Homo-oligomer: A and B are copies of this chain.
Amino acid sequence: MAKEFVEKITSMDDDFAQWYTDIVTKAKLADYSSVRGSMIIHPYGYKIWENIRDELDRKIKQTGHENVYMPLLIPESLLQKEKDHIAGFAPEVAWVTHGGEEELQERLCIRPTSEVLFGEYYKNVIHSYRDLPKLYNQWSNVVRWEKTTRPFLRTLEFLWQEGHTCHETEEEAVEETEKMLNVYASLCEDLLAIPVIKGKKTEKEKFAGATFTYTVESLMHDGKALQTATSHFLGDGFAKAFGIEFLNRDGNLQTVQQTSWGFTTRIIGAMIMVHSDNRGLVLPPKAAPTQVMIVPIASHKEGVLDHAYEIKNSLKDSVRVEIDASDKKPGWKFNEYEMQGVPLRLEVGPRDIEKEQVMFVRRDTGEKRQVSVHDLKSEVEKLLADIHDELYKKASLYLKEKTLIAFTLADMENFLREDNYLIQAMWCGNKDCENEIKEKTGATSRCIPFEQESIAETCVCCGKQAEDMVYWAKAY
């Protein structure tokens, strides 16, 4: 039976994890499936992904990259070619052992990422410096055999794009690594209103097989951090393992320098945990499938529906606008589209027609505003832009408020004992300290930020000479 009421969700203060799950299912983003750890992405969730994907695809193409498609399955021997890589991924790949009735001579894994497939491919197609750079990207699904999973945040299978590039020089490859990190950062900030911290992962936290990993980190409502995207400088590690060589400008054989970078459906989880509230999903306008939902009031009265459709038509070229002309009660509709995070509700009733105005209600602040029908288009555009800015501002403020400085390990333990924070603390660069911090506080190093501040001279853990300021947090 179709539900005629909107269910309430758990408050994030009572149970953050349940609040998250409630939003995922009740805003109709995704659902669990009978396949452990795999999700079903509903139309509404998939439309959000399409908006994000299309914008990222545009940026990837604009920066000179081309899309390709590599196989889903990787022979075991190929996965083993780069030793750090296989060590990192072997525990979490799914193995295909049978095709039809027949047992395979060599096992195939479902790609957890495609460095090795691109490695083999590049070895075959790159011969001269004239073949460089190679700037390829692919949109695909990958599988990682995770033990504990949550929709969008950590799933057995997820959707993503993975860029894989080859360059003549280290300098050029490092520049590419940085460029793509900036693409991700601007996507988070400009499309999704999510503030990010850009930095470098520690050796312990870097990608298996990379020389170094750049990351964009963001802070969730519960004070935990989430790695929103990463961009890896691979150096010549994979290239040497695969023999990707070219004749350089001096006529000598040289090994290419590589990068890889990825952005996943996980971002939808981040978007939920950065913006949403106890009434449901809050969507940043640029990612919202429906930016304006028109709800006719007393729609049986003459002229109301016609007027509502006229308004829809006048807006449909500039924003994504829908109308709910169903016979459900306006109150039900208000709740439903609040739950679904539609940025703007537009109410139009008999009195509004007379007055040549409509009523706007913002999802983020609840603020109501009368607008003349003659200023509709420009007002809608202004309101949507304003919602984006406000969401970004609010999230930035939260990030600032939830960031604490720690001078000692005891500080960190105290801060993180009963709540979650993003911690700024100096670090000596030693993995032992990193391990001890994690053991005592539950926090991992999130990144060594590009924007450094010298908080103290000594490491928060061992007290020896510090190298960098590092962000630490419990993380998704």
* A residues adjacent to B (C-beta < 8 A): 1-2, 31, 33-35, 38-43, 46-47, 49-50, 66-75, 78, 90-102, 107-108, 110, 117, 120-121, 124, 127-128, 130-131, 136, 140-141, 143, 145, 156-157, 159, 247
- List of B residues within 8 angstroms of A143 by Cβ: 72-73
Assess the B94–A67 pair: CB atoms within 8 A. Answer: no
Residue of B at shortest CB range from A33?
A: B71
State whether A68 touches B96 (Cβ < 8 A).
Answer: no
Q: Give the 9 A-B residue pairs with the shortest CB-CB distance, closest first.
A: A38-B71, A43-B66, A99-B145, A41-B69, A95-B98, A35-B71, A100-B145, A2-B130, A97-B97
Closest beta carbon of chain B to A238's beta carbon, Å: 15
Residues of B within 8 A of A157 (CB): 71-73
- The answer to whether A35 and B110 have CB atoms under 8 Å apart is no
Question: Which residues on the B side are within 8 Å of A120 (C-beta)?
Answer: 33-34
Tell me the complex Cα distance, A352–B78, Å. Answer: 54
The closest CB in chain B to the CB of A140 belongs to B141
* Residues from chain B with Cβ under 8 Å of A91 in the complex: 100-101
A127 with B2, Cβ < 8 A, contacts A71-B39, A72-B38 known: yes
A454 CB to nearest chain B CB (Å): 43
Can you name 30 A-B pairs with beta carbons within 8 Å? A1-B127, A1-B247, A2-B127, A31-B121, A33-B70, A33-B71, A34-B78, A35-B71, A35-B75, A38-B73, A40-B117, A41-B69, A43-B68, A47-B66, A50-B67, A71-B157, A72-B110, A72-B157, A73-B94, A73-B157, A91-B100, A93-B99, A93-B100, A94-B99, A95-B97, A95-B99, A97-B98, A100-B145, A110-B110, A141-B141
> Which residues of B are found within 8 Å of A159, using beta-carbon distances?
69
Are B108 and A35 within 8 A (Cβ)? Answer: yes
In the bound assembly, the distance between CA atoms of A141 and B71 in angstroms comes to 10
Q: How far is the CA of A120 from the CA of B136 in the complex (A)?
A: 37
For residue A86, give the distance in angstroms from its CB to the closest CB of chain B: 13
**Minimum Cβ distance to chain B for residue A285 (Å):** 21
Complex Cα distance, B31 from A136, in Å, reads: 15
Contacts of A93 in B (CB 8 A): 99-100
A411 CB, nearest partner CB in chain B, Å: 38
CB distance from A27 to the nearest CB of B (A): 15
**Chain B residues within an 8 Å CB radius of A1:** 127-128, 247
Q: Which of A66, A97, A99, A102 has the most CB of B within 10 A?
A: A99
